[in-house]
Amino acid sequence: MNLFKSHTLRFTIWAMVLLLVGLVAAISLLSYQIFSKQVRDERVHTNLALLEEINRKFELVIGSVDRNLIDLLQNDTVRKFLEYEDSGQEIELKTQLLIDRTLNANDSILSIELYSYVRNKLIPGGAITDALPPNSQWANEFKDHTGYTLWLPTHKMEISNSTFPIFRNVVSYIRTYPLIHPVGYRKGAIAVHLKEEELYKLLQNMDEQGDNADETFLLDAQGRVILHQDIAMLSRPIAELPSIAPIFQGAKEGHYTTRIEGKENSVYYITAETTGWKYVRVVPSVQQNKPLVYIRNLLAIVAGVLSLIAVILVVFVGHWTLRPVHRFLHNMSRVAKLTGVRKLNVAGVARNEFVDLETMIGDVLKESEEMHVHMKESRHAMKWRLLMDLLTHYRTNYTEIQSYLGYMGISLEAACYRVMILEFDDRSTIESVRDLQLYGYALANVAEELTRSECRGVAIELGDGTCAVILCMDEVNNENETALRAVSLAELIKHMVKKYFKRTVSVGIGSEAESLHKLHQSFQHAGELLKYKLVMGPDAVITKEDIGEQQTGESHQLFGMSDAILDSLKRGDAERMHEQIDSWFEAMKASKVPPDWMKQMNVQFAMKATFVAEEIHPDLAAYAQEFHWYERLSAAENLEEIKKLLERIMDGWIGMIKEKRSHGGDRTDLIEKVIAFIDEHYGRSDLSLNVLVDQFSVSLFHLSRTFKEQTARNFIDYVVDIRMLKAKELLLTTEDKIKDIADMVGYANVNSFIRIFKRVTGLTPKEYRDRKQE
């Protein structure tokens, strides 16, 4: 009887072992399915991220070229060539030198062509010509184009006029002059031809990161090939091919699987916002997945067989020998004494089957406890990953995410949601990156505790001294109520941080999200609002009501105000320059221009001012380079800091200008008197060099030459600028008639005044007054 029970126990143990093996196999199969899905998702994310990286590189190259063209078109010499028929050969030669300088500054540019519709002349970077060569027929085609810019796909460009001509593949970008103008007022255009092989290097460098079989190419909005590793494919329309056609069916980015030449491939694509180009990446399906499929099927079969055998054995033994489980557990010791016949194994050690069973169960419980400890330690990382997936819209299975969060005790069930982003001010004063990370972690903990005390929600750190808070709102009547509750919570968090951290934070509060599916939109909105700290300053709570609606064209008007600052720089008038800088920054604060545009506007002004300073004297440009102006502008956190940087370098320039002009002695005194006379008598219609010659008893040639040396501009341009600045002021601050204003600024003929005003501003006086009033 004891022997029978001993064999029965051994049989039972083996049955349980087989059952455990079956469960392990089933768990392995389930893990395989989960990890396989994650691998596929990561592959899609990686390929789309590669295309986004290529797009960013192209945006940098295209943005650099566009800025060079804008600076070139805003140069006074180029404007005279484009606008006046009789500006002379000297202007044409100077314009050609400026084009050559821009061409040499960028290795991606093959050539630049400038065409004046007023003069019907073309400067192709070489000789000036009246007849358009075959490569330059773009000028006639672009004349009636409705937009301000135009991209031409890859085409061949002849670069020699020999019997055996040489051609290069280029991608052309055309921009109009003036940059923004009413219909019918186009005066010229500029075309830059980019080297196709230089652009292709951007794609080639990214392909080196992937498999040799991967293929990346670029299409324009009509489906024509712009860049491809096969040169024969350039300019070919391939949008109608079955494998490419889904790209042009509405979605801006995505991926799909198709068969190309009988093989299965994955196609990934994104669309560039500025150019409308399609970045396409074709990746063959990985054949190495086949062994994984075989292993998966084998595991499924083994798990099924083992589970079936174990169940049969357990049912059989239980039917004949096993007692109910609860009696077995309570009477284990007694049963061990009744049935446990100790035997000696090969090593001579006493052995009992129940002791082995107890040891095995203890091991299972110990492993389970270790697993719970591991999950508890990794809870923070799991929470961060799940919440970041929600905020960035990385995963779309919100039910699965909510179940995982519920397992960790986090409930996000609510009627609506809002996201807040909190960021420490003056982060550059924090000593190390490690300290900044600790500040961000502490900020997230404080924000989460206060959020739970006021409503429901959760917070996570984002790095670099920032954190995000998800607010869950229940029983709310309208959007204004949720906004007020979010602002109240933000003020409470600010107060606690100021009290315990002795620092300030700025808060951006995103728009209301109706469900978790739209939570990423509130997160993006909060990030965009936080950028307005540049305008509103530190220690601010920013909502969409604080910003208002953006107005189209306001940035161009703001940038036009900077011309007066450069005029004061040329004259060396520090006091007037500071007044104009104050007015410019006050206008920026009162505008609805986004912060990114404001910072870009200041960077463009820095480039323009450096170019003007270099024309005055090369030492001024060297001073700007040593000052590291561009780097400091990019790191600035608010407009006041940018303003101080601007005033500092401009004061330095004016000091250098005065020092250099002081070596001129009497000539400097003469020009200062002349400038004072012009500023006082600009309203005289007979104001000319002859009047100044009689007034100061000097020769005409000496006065003209000395004026240009000391002010870096000629007499006529200076007088026109003074009169136009005064005319703008009168148009905006008075209701006087156009004819009266023309007479007050020195123009007896109102038609001459209107023509010159439109040449300078691009608008008639009436249009300028109406637009500013709007």
For the chain, which residues make up each domain, given as ranges? 74-198, 210-284, 379-547, 602-773
Closest by Cα among 698, 770, 760 to 738 = 770
Could you list the mean pLDDT of each consecutive 10-residue stretch along the chain, which spans 774 residues?
Answer: 51 66 68 70 80 82 82 82 75 82 79 83 61 67 78 77 71 84 79 82 64 73 79 75 77 81 81 82 64 62 71 61 51 49 40 55 68 65 82 76 78 86 84 83 88 84 88 77 85 88 89 86 86 74 70 64 78 81 82 74 77 70 67 75 82 75 61 86 86 80 78 83 90 90 90 90 88 71
Tokens found for residue 558: 């703001």
Give the SS3 label for residue 511. Answer: coil
CA pair distance 269, 279, nearest whole angstrom:
5
CA pair distance 734, 322, nearest whole angstrom:
106
CA pair distance 456, 442, nearest whole angstrom:
19
CA pair distance 348, 327, nearest whole angstrom:
33
Could you identify the residue written with the tokens 């940059």? Answer: 179
* Contact in structure between 240 and 256 (CB atoms under 8 Å): no
Q: Which amino acid is at 553?
A: G
For residue 358, give every residue at least 6 positions away whose Cβ sits within 8 Å of its Cβ, in sequence order, or none.
332
Q: Do the two domains 74-198 and 210-284 of this chain adopt the same fold?
A: yes
Which residue(s) pair with 227 in the sheet?
Answer: 218
- What pLDDT is attached to residue 419? 92
Q: Note the CATH architecture for domain 210-284.
A: 2-Layer Sandwich (3.30)
For residue 382, give every residue at least 6 positions away whose Cβ sits within 8 Å of its Cβ, in sequence order, or none.
404, 408
CATH code that applies to domain 602-773: 1.10.10.60
Query: pTM surpassing 0.75?
Result: no
Query: Does domain 74-198 correspond to CATH entry 3.30.450.20?
Result: yes
- The third-level CATH classification (topology) of the domain covering 379-547 is Alpha-Beta Plaits (3.30.70)
- What pLDDT is attached to residue 128? 46
For residue 55, give every residue at least 6 positions away whose Cβ sits within 8 Å of its Cβ, in sequence order, or none.
270, 272, 279
CA pair distance 212, 489, nearest whole angstrom:
54
* Contact in structure between 129 and 113 (CB atoms under 8 Å): no
Give the SS3 label for residue 504. Answer: coil
What is the pairing mode between strands 541-542 and 505-509? parallel
- What pLDDT is attached to residue 123? 83
Tokens found for residue 291: 């062994």
Closest by Cα among 257, 256, 153, 268 to 215 = 268
User: Cα 391 to chain center, whole Å?
Assistant: 17
Question: DSSP assignment, residue 237?
Answer: B
- What pLDDT is attached to residue 371? 64
Tokens found for residue 339: 């049935």
Interior/surface letters 62-92, b for 16+ CB within 10 angstroms, e for the rest: beebbebbbbbbbbebbbbbbbeeebeeebb
CA pair distance 391, 167, nearest whole angstrom:
50
- What pLDDT is attached to residue 422? 92
For residue 692, give every residue at least 6 positions away whose Cβ sits within 8 Å of its Cβ, in sequence order, or none.
674, 677, 698, 703, 715
For residue 661, give every residue at least 6 positions away whose Cβ sits within 8 Å of its Cβ, in sequence order, or none.
572, 668, 710
Give the SS3 label for residue 460. Answer: strand
**Is the C-alpha dihedral spanning 134, 135, 139, 145 positive or negative?**
positive
